[in-house]
Amino acid sequence: MKGRALNYITRIQLFLNLAFFIPLIVISLTSLTRSTADYKNETEREYLAIVESTGNNLSGYLQNFRDNISNIEELRSSINELADFSEFDMDIFSVRQNMGRLLVATQPLIYDKGILANVIDPVALSEIKESGVKSIVLDESFGKLNYKVAYAGIKSRDGSLSGIISIPFFGSQEIISRNLTGLIVNILGIFTLIFIGFVILSFIVSTYLTFPLKFVTERLRRTTLTGINEPLQYDSGDEIGRLVSEYNLMLLKLEESKKALAQTEKEAAWREMAKQVAHEIKNPLTPMKLTLQHLNMRLSDLQEPEKSKFEKSINSLLHNIDTLSDIATSFSDYAHMPIPEEEKFDIVKLLKRSINIYINNKEIEFHTEIPDEEIIVVGDPNWIGRSVSNLIINGIQAVEEGVKPIIHLSLRQTALKRVLITVEDNGKGIHDDIKDKVFMPNFSTKYSGSGIGLAIAKRAVEHAGGKLWFDTKIGFGTSFYIELPMLN
């Protein structure tokens, strides 16, 4: 189940242990199997050495029996003496008369009572007599007792086969089992020590390996949309380093998203406020203007100089009402500003059309640097045109009273497939304490301004994928820059 899934550290420890102990177990089992075979082979070699040595010792006694120098009792007595000395039971089988029959045994009762047959194992007879094998070890059993029997040929003086001796080893399985038990105990002891040591080592290693992940996890847990998120420091190019790099990149994007969200919320608030301001201002303006106009018509009955005095006051009020109406209209435009369209247009043609009304104005010194070739960009041409016009108007109005406005407008292509529009004026400049408020709605340094123009311009430019910023120097003027992407 998902709720019972192993955590990351436990999985690392598990995989490390499996990677170490599976090969160790395979090696141990292989060593145990090989050792078992080696023990069996070594035991059989010992049995063969014993039976061959015993057969050589009995060669003379059996030769005397074959030459009728001694009888069967003397042969039995010699075998019993040798058996008592070596502590092994022995049987001698004939290979001449009554081939394969028991000739003499140290334990004759076993054969007399029919417990064992008094004939040699056919395999041993075939291998030694027919195949010429010097000695052989065979597995035999009696009831549930399994044991090994070693057979060897007994040579006469002329090198011919005079008999076959067999020696049963009833404790062979016990010896092998005892040796294997000791080997298994040693392996288990070593395995246990290695297991304990490697578990401790794997815990330390897994803790070391997962520490950066714990660190990153803790920082991710504390990452918020509203708080201050500091980037992580990790000086390595491994997988954790790439994860940290992606996390730091995510923080940058998160900060950008926070700024964009804050800007969106701020614009939404300003739009709502602009709607309310426009509504509250426009409602009383119309009846006020009508009343003043009616009063102005009634002034015709008055005599000078009272008539001029009243007309001047009424005209001043009407002018202020028109100014308030324009401000309310600007707020209304900002509140109902539609989403800019996206279309291809020639920015050169748009700029030339936007500056026509200023070129021939004798009260303004206007300089332009606009190329003749077509430059296509993507955006809303109406809003971009209004943005440029608004920057020109702001530049003209930023000049001190009595100083002739000088406006420089230029258009050039940058190396990054973008165009840069520059609007430079010779105005008073923008002080440091208000630089951050320039693009905020409802902020203006002009007596009659609504403060909406730059906010609209910034939104229009950014919607087209561009940027709007400025440089300023107090007493020398301000330069506004519009950067827009060109059509690929």
pLDDT band at 3; cut points 50, 70, 90: very low
Q: Do the Cβ atoms of 51 and 43 come closer than 8 Å?
A: no
pLDDT of residue 443 exceeding 50: no
- The mean pLDDT of 59-77, rounded to a whole number, is 83
Integer Cα distance of 348 and 314 in angstroms: 46
Q: Which of 214 and 475 is assigned the larger pLDDT?
A: 475
| Residue 204 within any structural domain of the chain | no
**Listed range (320-334, 397-411, 461-475) with the worst mean pLDDT:** 320-334
pTM: 0.41
Q: Which of 270, 305, 335 is the last residue of a domain?
A: 335
Integer Cα distance of 347 and 411 in angstroms: 9
Integer Cα distance of 349 and 191 in angstroms: 86
**Can you give the CATH number for the domain in which 261 is found?**
1.10.287
pLDDT band at 448; cut points 50, 70, 90: very low
| Residue 192 within any structural domain of the chain | no
Q: Which of 95 and 28 is assigned the larger pLDDT?
A: 95
- The mean pLDDT of 30-43, rounded to a whole number, is 77
**Can you give the CATH number for the domain in which 165 is found?**
3.30.450.20
pLDDT at 422: 95
pLDDT at 449: 46
**Listed range (179-188, 332-341, 403-412, 466-475) with the worst mean pLDDT:** 332-341
pLDDT at 339: 60
Q: Which of 239 and 61 is assigned the larger pLDDT?
A: 61
> Does residue 372 share a domain with residue 320?
no
| Residue 225 within any structural domain of the chain | no
Residues 6+ apart with CB under 8 A from 395: 405, 407, 423, 424, 425, 427, 477, 478, 480
pLDDT at 409: 94
Write down the residue that tokens 């006020």 correspond to: 288
> Does residue 411 share a domain with residue 295?
no
**Can you give the CATH number for the domain in which 387 is found?**
3.30.565.10
Q: Which DSSP helix (H) or strand (E) runs through 88?
A: none
Give the number of domains in the chain: 3
pLDDT band at 233; cut points 50, 70, 90: confident
Integer Cα distance of 372 and 346 in angstroms: 11
Q: How many CB atoms lie within 10 A of CB 413?
A: 13
pLDDT band at 370; cut points 50, 70, 90: very high
- Strands of the sheet containing 477-485, edge to edge, are 365-369, 406-413, 418-424, 477-485, 467-473
**Listed range (124-138, 190-204, 270-284) with the worst mean pLDDT:** 270-284
Q: Which of 290, 317, 335 is the last residue of a domain?
A: 335
| Residue 275 within any structural domain of the chain | yes
Q: Do the Cβ atoms of 296 and 321 come closer than 8 Å?
A: no
| Residue 191 within any structural domain of the chain | no
pLDDT at 1: 41
List the domain range (segments joined by +) for residue 288.
Answer: 239-335
| Residue 189 within any structural domain of the chain | no
Q: Which of 138, 159, 180 is the last residue of a domain?
A: 180
Integer Cα distance of 55 and 155 in angstroms: 8
> Does residue 164 share a domain with residue 258?
no
pLDDT band at 479; cut points 50, 70, 90: very high
> Does residue 396 share a domain with residue 272?
no
| Residue 228 within any structural domain of the chain | no
| Residue 214 within any structural domain of the chain | no
Torsion of CA 23, 25, 29, 35, to 10 degrees: 90
> Does residue 455 share a domain with residue 320?
no
Q: Do the Cβ atoms of 92 and 103 come closer than 8 Å?
A: yes
pLDDT of residue 247 exceeding 90: no
Q: Convert 403-440 into a string of H (helix), E (strand) and C (coil).
A: CCCEEEEEEEECCCCEEEEEEECCCCCCCHHHHHHCCC
pLDDT of residue 274 exceeding 70: no
> Does residue 124 share a domain with residue 153?
yes
Mean pLDDT of the chain: 78
Using a 10 angstrom Cβ sphere, with 0-12 exposed, 13-18 middle and 19 or more buried, the burial of residue 296 is middle
> Does residue 60 share a domain with residue 169?
yes
Residues 6+ apart with CB under 8 A from 295: 310, 314
